[in-house]
Amino acid sequence: CALYPRDAAFLELVAEEVLEQVSRLATHAAIVVWGGNNENEAALNWYDASRKQRDRYVADYVKLYVDTVVPAIRAADADGRPVVDTSPSNGLVSEAPYVKRWGVLSTKSSAAAGSWGDVHYYNYADDCEDAATYPLARFVSEHGFQAFPGVDTYAAVSAPSDWSRDAPFADFRMRHPDGNAQALAMMARHFRVPPASCDDDDAPPLCEQRA
């Protein structure tokens, strides 16, 4: 989620990278749609620079993603899978010519959510088994809940004194604000929370699967 330049040298590098990566990944049957970026259109509303000079940054965005990334993806994928320049988005007005539907991005509560584009939805407070908390969206392309790392992964970068969810190291490794407390609260709704050790790494994935 960031802002990027549109100088010729950078765009050339981007096109080369997209062609290489899409060609490498195009044989994967699990890929049903290509995304040009993750949340970078949404990020236009997050930073002072892009809010104050919106026309400039929209032009940068279009030059990079619509005029460079999207054509490069199409050139590299012989199967012609759908391409979106960003996710989430409000979708397209037209595929050919490629015309974006600009505006406030769809959210769980917006009327547009069920009509076009896609929605990212994360809810760390409500019960993950309550279907009523999920958006009635056309396509929820991101959703889920954080899980603690597996024991083997954790052990490779830590000392035994760190192997407790109450240890300072656990807070240091957690990049999401209040993430450990949120994960424990969600687990406690459905499971008996074990002692403060990293043996509870399977609980959040189970909770997500049941949802």
Instruction: Write the secondary structure of 9-50 as one string of H (helix), E (strand) and C (coil).
Output: HHHHHHHHHHHHHHHHHCCCCCCCCEECCECCCHHHHCCHHH
Domain that holds residue 171: 145-210
Q: Please check whether residue 2 lies inside any domain of the structure.
A: no
Statement to judge: residues 91 and 36 lie in one domain: yes
Average pLDDT over the chain, rounded to an integer: 84
Q: Are residues 153 and 138 in the same domain?
A: no
pLDDT in tens, 31-75: 989 999 999 998 998 999 999 999 999 999 999 999 999 999 999
Active site residues: 39, 142
- The predicted-structure confidence for 123-175, as pLDDT tens digits, reads as follows 888 888 888 888 888 888 888 877 777 778 888 888 888 888 788 888 888 88
The pLDDT score that the predictor gives to residue 196 is 66
Classify residue 106: in a domain, yes or no: no
Does residue 91 share a domain with residue 52?
yes
Determine, yes or no, domain membership for 44: yes
Q: At residue 94, does pLDDT exceed 80?
A: yes
Count structural domains, the chain: 3
* pTM across the whole model: 0.75
Confidence (pLDDT) at 146: 76
Alpha carbon distance 181, 45 (integer Å): 29
Indicate whether 58 and 93 sit together in one domain. yes
Q: Is residue 67 part of a domain?
A: yes
Please check whether residues 139 and 122 belong to one and the same domain: yes
Same domain for 155 and 119, yes or no, is no
